[in-house]
Every structure is written in structure tokens, then in C-alpha cells.
Structure 1
Amino acid sequence: MTFPLWLALVGSGFVISLTPGAGAIFAMSNAIAHGWRRSIWGILGQQVALLVHILVVAAGVGALVAGSPVLFAVIRYVGAAYLIYLGVRQILAKPVEPASDDLEMLAPPQSAWTMFRRGVLVNLTNPKAIVFFLAFVPQFIRPDLPLVEQYTVLVLTVFAIDIAVMWFVFAAAARAIARLTRSVKGQRVLSRVFGGLFIGVGVLLAAVH
């Protein structure tokens, strides 16, 4: 993986990890209920699920590379278009009326293993993740270079970014972010910001390889 492409991976990884989703909500709820330090166990569980998704996608992408480099290129550009589509959909998404403003719904104490296991399940049971990674992964893979090294760099980079964002952003600022996502105005702001970022990432990845 070239250095410019790796920088694009880092930038894209931060945008994607910063976009609120099931994983971010899980990290925030753990931090609110069990404390910032202990929330790391759920975040580590999420990384195991991410690894499974990437391995599944890598197996399919590897078959495409071996069979048809042209088809691989088509998948890459379609993937970039899908990221742009996600951005447009994020901007147009209607905010959900908050059901409650109670941020102190503390759960009973959970063991590290319980939080880890639930973290795995939160990401593993999201079928959209496979589709997303099928769009995302090919943007950073060069079919003419050794695949193992490229996937190793990709996985380590994605893990480092996701852990940093989930723990030091969402979990650390759990209460403030939770309040923002529970207001209609806050949801609109987040949708527009992250939708625009997704569109920018899609355009960037279509141009840089």
C-alpha cells in the first residue's frame, strides 16, 4: 500500500468511525452504565466482529482479483458510488423524535467477558456491514501487489482508528453526544455533517488509487 493511499485510508477510517451507528451507541451506553475504562471491553469485542467482516470480504475480493482485474475495478468504482449514496441518504434521513431524555439508565454491573461478547454480537449481527466493507475494502487494495501485506496494513489501521474513536471520542464524551443525538436539531446537524463527509470520502476514493 502506497503512503498516499494509506493516508486516504486513515482519513476515511476516521470519517467512518466517527459516523454514529450501532457501535457508537453501544460504546456510549457502556461508558454511561459501567464507566469509561470498562467500556473498552465492548469496544474490543466490536473489533473481533470487524475482523470477521473484513475476512469474509477479503475472501470474495481475492476471488475477484484472481478471476478478473477488470471486474475488480468495476467493484471498486461501484463501491465508491455506494459511499456517496450513503452520504446522500444520511443527509436526507429524517430525525427520530426522542422517546426519553433520561441519560442515566444505568444497567446492572457486567463482567468484561459479557461486554466483550455483546460487542462482538453488536457488529457481527449487522448484515449491512458486509455490504459496506465490500464497498470500502477494494478502494485500498492493489491487485498487482501482495494481498496479505495490504490486508494486514488495512486491518491494523482500521482497528487502531476504530478503537481510538470509540473509546476516546464516543465513550469519553458519552453524555454530551447522547444529548445531541436525542434532539431533533442535533440529529439534523450530525446527519448533514457526516453525510457530507461520506460523499467527500466516496469522491476521494474514486480519484485516489
Structure 2
Amino acid sequence: MSIEFLVTALIVTVSPGTGVLYTLAAGLSRGWRASVVAALGCTIGIVPHLAATVLGLAALLHTSPVVFDVLKYAGVAYLLYVAWGTLTERGALQVDEAASPPSPVRIAGTAVLVNILNPKLSIFFLAFLPQFVAAADPAPVARMLELGAVFMALTFVVFAGYGLVAAAVRDKVLSRPSVLRWMRRTFAGAFVALGVKLAFTSL
């Protein structure tokens, strides 16, 4: 495992994106357990993209504008749905203690969909992983799976770290309704911005 791969993968996972935002929101609204579940869901959401890369389907996605657009706009629609739920207190930043908290399955399911419905991940893996597989490697598929597993492990650790930090300041945020409103609007706006950015993404 090269240091170049580890450094590059770490930079990618640390960079804020939809998964990071959702994990932060889970930590702020429901505490550290929810943030860990969200981090796990985001990590699981990488599996289909990794599998598509290894099986060669990502190459088809890269050369098929129709398939790419279908996944892209499904992802945009879902990000807007998450943004609306966050803004109206029914989604990622639902903090009403009297209301039934979202189940771990629901938290994880939303996190999985956030990553699955992002076709850019397949394109990223298609461009990223082969660079670290030697042309003379006798088992390139196994090597790519190994690299993918390390990337997923880094994703979980980094995302969980973000979520735990958010959970640590949760009480301070919840005790100040004005801050919570600002946070809710900020997160909703960020999800909308990411949706718009995805909508204008092209092959």
C-alpha cells in the first residue's frame, strides 16, 4: 500500500461532501450513536460504485450519457428531498425529543442512498483506483478490491470523526434555538448547493 494512495484517499475523504454533511447533521441532532450509524451507511454506499468499477460497469457509465443522467438526476432529487426534510425539521436535523427518533435503519438507509445516487463516485473510482495497480500485477481485481477496502475504512473513520465532533457540541447547539435555526438553514442550503452542483456535472 503506497503512501501516495493513503494521502490521496485521506484528502478525498476529509473534503466536505454530502456524506460528511449528513453525518454532521446526524451527530448534531441525535448524538454520537446516530453519527456512527450515518458514517457506516455512507461507507456502505460506496460498495456499489466500487463493484461497478471492478466489474467494468463504471466504464459503461462513463460512456453512456443517458445512464449517467438518470443516476445524476435521481441523486439531485434525493438531495433536494433531504434538504427539504432538514429545513422542515423532519429530516437530518430533527431534534424534537418528544417526536419518535429516526431508527438506525432509517439513518443508515438515507446515508446509503446519499452515496449510491451519486454517479460521480463511480467515475472517481474508475479514474482513481487503476493508477495504483501495476500493469504487471498478477491479480489486478484483488488489488483494486484491497484498495477499495482501505478507502472505505478511511471513509468510515473520517466520517465518524466528523460526527463525533458534532455530537460533542450537540448540547450547546440545542440549548440555543437561534443557533439551531441557523444550522438547519445552513445544512439545507448546503444540500441544495450540492444538488445544483451535481445537476451541472457532465461526463
TM-score range, shorter chain: 0.5 to 0.7
CA distance in 1, matches of 2:46, 2:38: 13
From 136, 145, 149, the equivalent of 1:152 is: 145
CA distance in 1, matches of 2:58, 2:134: 11
Distance 1:114 1:105, change over 3 A: closer
Q: Residue in 2 aligned with 1:52?
A: 48
Is residue 61–residue 138 contact of structure 1 (8 Å, CA) maintained in 2?
no
From 14, 17, 20, the equivalent of 1:18 is: 14
Q: Residue in 2 aligned with 1:201?
A: none
Is residue 45–residue 119 contact of structure 1 (8 Å, CA) maintained in 2?
yes
CA distance in 2, matches of 1:129, 1:153: 17
Q: Residue in 2 aligned with 1:115?
A: 107
Q: Considering only aligned residues, what root-mean-square deviation do their CA atoms show, in Å?
A: 3.2
- The AA in structure 2 aligned to 1:17 is T
CA distance in 2, matches of 1:9, 1:109: 39
Residues 167-206 of structure 1 aligned to structure 2 (within 5 Å): 167-168=160-161, 170-174=162-166
Identity of aligned residues (%): 25
Q: Residue in 2 aligned with 1:106?
A: 95
Structure 1 unmatched runs, 5+: 64-99, 188-209
Is residue 39–residue 167 contact of structure 1 (8 Å, CA) maintained in 2?
yes
Q: Residue in 1 aligned with 2:127?
A: 135
Shift of 1:62: 10
Deviation readout 1:47-100 (Å, 9 max, x if unpaired): 22211101101222899xxxxxxxxxxxxxxxxxxxxxxxxxxxxxxxxxxxx9
CA distance in 2, matches of 1:61, 1:142: 21
Task: State TM-score, norm by structure 2.
Answer: 0.59
Is residue 42–residue 116 contact of structure 1 (8 Å, CA) maintained in 2?
yes
Task: State TM-score, norm by structure 1.
Answer: 0.58
Deviation readout 1:128-155 (Å, 9 max, x if unpaired): 2222222212221223211233123212
Q: Residue in 1 aligned with 2:201?
A: none
CA distance in 1, matches of 2:116, 2:163: 20
Structure 2 unmatched runs, 5+: 60-86, 88-92, 170-181, 191-203
TM superposition outliers: structure 1 runs of 4+ over 6 Å: none
